[in-house]
Amino acid sequence: MRGWLALVLGLFAGAALADGAVHEFQLDNGLKLVVKEDHRAPVMVSQVWYKVGSSYEHDGITGISHVLEHMMFKGTAAHPAGEFSQIISENGGRENAFTSQDYTAYFQTMEKNRLPVSFELEADRMRNLTLPEKEFRKEVQVVMEERRMRTEDDPQSLTYEQFNAAAFVNSPYRTPVIGWMDDLENLRVDDLRRWYRKWYAPNNATLVVVGDVDPDAVYAQARKYFGALRPSEPEAVKPRHEIEQLGRKDIRVKAPAKLPYLIMGYKVPVLKTVKAADSWEPYALEVLAGVLDQGSGARLSSELVRGSAVAASAGASYDAWERLESLFVLSGTPSTNHGVAELEKALLEQVRKLQQTPVGKDELERVKAQIRADKVYEQDSIFYQAMQIGILETVGLGWRESQRYLERIEAVTAEQVQAVARKYLIEDHLTVAQLVPQPIEPGKEKTPHRAGVGGHVR
């Protein structure tokens, strides 16, 4: 196996050479610019990342970061509501935005020469949003529809939301990114204005450009469009460390559904929250997640979906690049003739095995081989490359972490995987949620009227 490892490491070195150079710039007003060259196609992606998301929110205004993201398309004095999307569209661009717990980001993917179009519009809405009351009233309705679609009417999402709220006590990761419906209903445009003034400023943002561009030219354009923006008064963000969990928590969520569903989460650190000496731990947790769920050959598929066939599906997830202490999550749907209790038992057995026996050499190698190859594959997407840089900058780890990632993963040993399993996957830090299906009336079809349906519309 050793010879093979050397071979693949050698391959990676070749691929790393193909990986484009990253250039970092800083504007006087605090805006950071990171540019990565990728000259494969005459296109570029431009992203603006703000250090704000649902984990910056407090009770009563949950979801405000996401609503503000929607309102960022609702106009400035220079470009009234709707114009942003119209201009990007006419330039052949694709644009969108996303909000998470840790960040809010906006992007345009365009032909490479249209970078100034994107910069002009993004710079304008960084400081000059008008936030009209009338637009807000409509848009918050759209967000409530989004919430209904994503959460209220999806029993697994609903369970996940309740699970999260039960797992965390004082960490802001407790609340959903989209916000509680009650908070959305009571949100006011003035709340948004305050939120916008506080967080939307060059010294709280990172500009990321990846594509067929010249870094110095991008820097010149960035200074031209963003250079004059005033910074805001920085305000220290409270740490809001989650208190220690003192025993297993169990919740049940009853909702109309056909299938039961199980989610189990252990409190775990992330790279940002561990001491320097323990910085291998999050990477060991990533490898541990891989041993369970990296590919169809990994343990959950092999032993739970095939093997004992107790699960119709099962997964494990962990993200080392979050801002605050997080969760290592196991989830799944029991197969027919098996209940949630059996699935839970099987998942706990998997955890026990990881604690008791070091992962086999071949198994560890397989996980690493896939992560190595993924580093090459991810270069096929300029969007994904930009996204990695943006996340790392925004959670405060710095984009260089992405270049260290593989090396850190390679260094993880079987003993380390066992050690983090023992240290962190402990029952007192576990939260378990199960979806208890409530009857859905069998989908009755009715044909209320047959008429020229479209013919009498006015």
- Considering only 116, 234, 297, 339, the residue that binds another protein (CB under 8 A) is 297
Min dist. Cβ of residue 272 to another protein (A): 18
Q: Which of residues 52-91 bind another protein (CB under 8 A)?
A: 66, 69-70, 73, 81-82, 85-86, 89-91
**Closest CB to another protein among residues 55, 281:** 55
Question: Which structure tokens are listed for 379?
Answer: 């270069």
Q: Which of 432, 447, 431 is nearest to 169 (CA)?
A: 431
The stretch near another protein (CB under 8 A) out of 221-229, 235-243, 366-374, 422-430 is 366-374
Kindly report the length of the chain: 458
Strands 205-211, 32-37: pairing kind: parallel
- Number of residues near another protein (by CB under 8 A): 105
**Closest CB to another protein among residues 165, 426:** 165
Min dist. Cβ of residue 89 to another protein (A): 5
Annotated active-site positions, please? Answer: 69
The stretch near another protein (CB under 8 A) out of 246-254, 264-272, 331-339, 414-422 is 331-339
Indicate the helix (H) or strand (E) that contains 148. none
Min dist. Cβ of residue 366 to another protein (A): 5
The stretch near another protein (CB under 8 A) out of 125-133, 198-206, 281-289, 448-456 is 448-456
Min dist. Cβ of residue 114 to another protein (A): 8
Question: Which structure tokens are listed for 155?
Answer: 């029993």
Question: Which structure tokens are listed for 380?
Answer: 């096929």
- Quick check: 257 and 308 in contact, CB under 8 A? no
- Quick check: 173 and 161 in contact, CB under 8 A? no
Q: Which of residues 378-437 bind another protein (CB under 8 A)?
A: 379-382, 437
Q: Which of residues 138-197 bind another protein (CB under 8 A)?
A: 138-146, 148-150, 152-155, 177-178, 181, 185
Does position 335 interact with another protein (CB under 8 A)? The reply is yes
Within 10 angstroms of residue 79's Cβ, the number of other Cβ atoms is 17
Query: 314: which strand partners?
Result: 332
**Closest CB to another protein among residues 206, 429:** 206
The stretch near another protein (CB under 8 A) out of 164-172, 193-201, 301-309, 349-357 is 301-309
**Closest CB to another protein among residues 243, 337:** 337
- CB burial string 347-357: b at 16+ within 10 A, e below: bbebbeebbee
Question: Which structure tokens are listed for 242?
Answer: 């989650």
Indicate the helix (H) or strand (E) that contains 342. helix 340-356
- Quick check: 256 and 155 in contact, CB under 8 A? yes
